[in-house]
A and B are shown apart, each in its own frame.
Chain A
Amino acid sequence: MTSMQLEIMLIAAVSAVACALPGVFLVLRRMALMSDAISHVVLLGIIVAFFFTGDLSSPWLLVGATATGVLTVFLVEMVTATRLVKEDAAIGLVFPALFSIAVILVSRYAGNVHIDTDAVLMGELAFAPFDRVVVGGYDIGSRSLVKMVIILALNASLLLVFYKELKIATFDPLLAVSLGFPVAALHYGLMTLVSVTAVGAFDAVGSVLVVGLMVGPAATAYLLTDRLSRMIMWSAGIGVVAAVGGYWLAYLMDASIAGCITTMLGIIFGAAHIGAPDRGIIAMARRRARQRVEFAQRMLVIHLFNHEDSPEAATENRVDHLGEHLRWRAGHIERIVDSARRRKLIQEQNGSLTLTDEGRTVAKESLQFS
């Protein structure tokens, strides 16, 4: 592994964590799509700032882009507030409009400048290590890495400091306002962070990967845990795994790194969706199956209970008669009788079923006697 490979992975991993942190709150606020809008619209801010400064490396580009990101959030909220359209449609109106202005500006006036829409969408991770930051003759790393480390530090420290405030403003904004927390300021603060992160990450990894890194790890982590703090840590970890895994996938396939990282995010989400311990498809199917069996056992003990000690018990409470009475298929009856016997709810003697004490308790509980 060359140092350049290492640096590319490092840039991807740092970007992943930097994006995952605000991404958790975007997902919990059901604003995932806003990351899509912001990460594209920052292009407009960059172009406009570039027209004023004429310098692609000017820090004003970062300022302009961040401002455009926040402007996008503001415009979307304004359109939503008219109540003519819902928020998703408002995003669909605002973001293409601003993004297309940027595209027109690039194609009309900046044709010979090094800004092109492919690079915006896909990033140029493979070339990121060539652009070095040299301070006092000392090479401290690639520009992208330095930038993303700073942004990561910013995101991590702000999230740590305002963790409690962000949590309450996200979970219960009404309570937060009534307690005196400035929910709107927190909201715009978070959106500013999202914008800064999107601007920083997009020339390294491209805006599509920015969206992937903000939404993918958070959505996956949401399936894996039910604590906010752990969700944040899981997101960061998943982001790193996707970044490194995606890099090697790209290396093996000789394909776009950003594309492969996004694909890894998809694969990881898919795996979690299927296999997550509580909320995965498998876990849910097993839970449902177990509930079906438990419910059937309950029906069985209630049936036995109702006819216990009655004259018809001899006919009702026989394995070979259950099918007629409960309208169950033969195989199903055997399975349920077996499982109920294993749970020691019933016992069988010569094909006749009787309740155990525990079975009787379950039946009574189900019928709400006590």
Chain B
Amino acid sequence: MSLTPPNPNLAIEINDLTVAYHEKPVLWDVDLHVPAGVLMAIVGPNGAGKSTLIKAALGLVKAAAGDVLIFGRPYPEQRRRVAYVPQRGSVDWDFPTTVIDVVTMGRYGALGWLKRPGAREHAEAMAALEQLGMQDFADRQISQLSGGQQQRVFLARALSQQADVYFMDEPLQGVDATTEHAIMQLLRSLRSQGKTVVVVHHDLETVEEYFDWVTMLNVRRIASGPVSEVFTRANLRIAYGGRSALGAEALERDEIRDAKPAAPIVP
């Protein structure tokens, strides 16, 4: 537990989070303080614990130690303020259901037990689909969607949760350019509404273009802060070392600077 009092101005405050599978640490004593209204990427090599960090924050995997506060209060008390986008591959897309039905699931938490989704939930789900340009697919069986469309449906579902903090697990993984564009537009619009968005991200080349905040992870937290300050060659080297081809490649690239020439954040 942290000795400092919780800071309710922080959208996400993670203290001393340790997660282990069979006594092997996946996350080692991670501290993370994310202010409200940022668009943050979590980057790190494979096996760095990026997805696990999100899952532990949401109570989906059991933490060996540590606590997670959302706006100063424990996650279970703040569920309604948090939306989660799991990896697209974590569900069965042959499940007998439609696009609108999946998006409506985002309202289930607010509905609570026993109540059935009705016209209001349907309208909220449609509004979310429209924001991702997917309204024409509402009655489509989900198995008929392309990967990018599936991802947009997942995003629409998170949107329908009307949360303040969004955790997204690899939303840009393997999607087409149209989808990537639509998703990034949505994330920026969320940020401009003051929402906090945390994205597990795999593409180091787009970190600076897409995000204003970044956390670099490799079992332990390497660095966390504004992209312009912490997304440096030195930190990348620590995070990726020689382990990842992607990381090594990125280290060779000139775009990634040694120190910060403060770049304006693209809104």
* A interface list, Cβ under 8 A from B: 28, 30, 161-165, 167-168, 170-172, 174-181, 222, 225-228, 230-231
Contact = CB atoms under 8 A, between A and B. Distances in A.
B90 A171 contact: no
Interface in B82-105: 82, 84, 86, 90-92, 95-98, 102, 105
Contact of A164 (B59, B84, B102, B111): B111
Contacts, number: 71
A178 B82 CA distance: 9
A9 B105 CA distance: 39
A222 B115 CA distance: 26
Contacts of A175: 84, 86, 105, 157
A19 to B, nearest CB: 19
B117 A228 contact: no
Contacts of A181: 108-109
A170 B101 CA distance: 14
Interface in B49-102: 55, 58-60, 76, 79, 82, 84, 86, 90-92, 95-98, 102
A178 B97 contact: no
Query: Closest 10 A-B residue pairs measured CB to CB?
Result: A179-B109, A226-B141, A178-B84, A174-B86, A178-B58, A226-B96, A172-B91, A171-B95, A180-B79, A231-B96
A40 B72 CA distance: 51
A226 B76 contact: no
A164 B116 CA distance: 7
Interface in B146-167: 157
B262 interface: no
Nearest to B105: A168
Given A172-B90, A172-B91, 18 more contacts: A28-B92, A165-B108, A167-B105, A168-B105, A171-B92, A171-B95, A171-B97, A171-B102, A174-B84, A175-B84, A178-B84, A179-B79, A179-B109, A181-B108, A226-B141, A226-B143, A227-B96, A230-B96
Nearest to B114: A161
A178 B157 CA distance: 13
B98 A172 contact: no
A238 B153 CA distance: 32
A299 to B, nearest CB: 23
Most buried by A among B59, B92, B115, B117: B92
A28 B109 CA distance: 22
Contacts of B111: 164
Contact of B91 (A167, A171, A228): A171
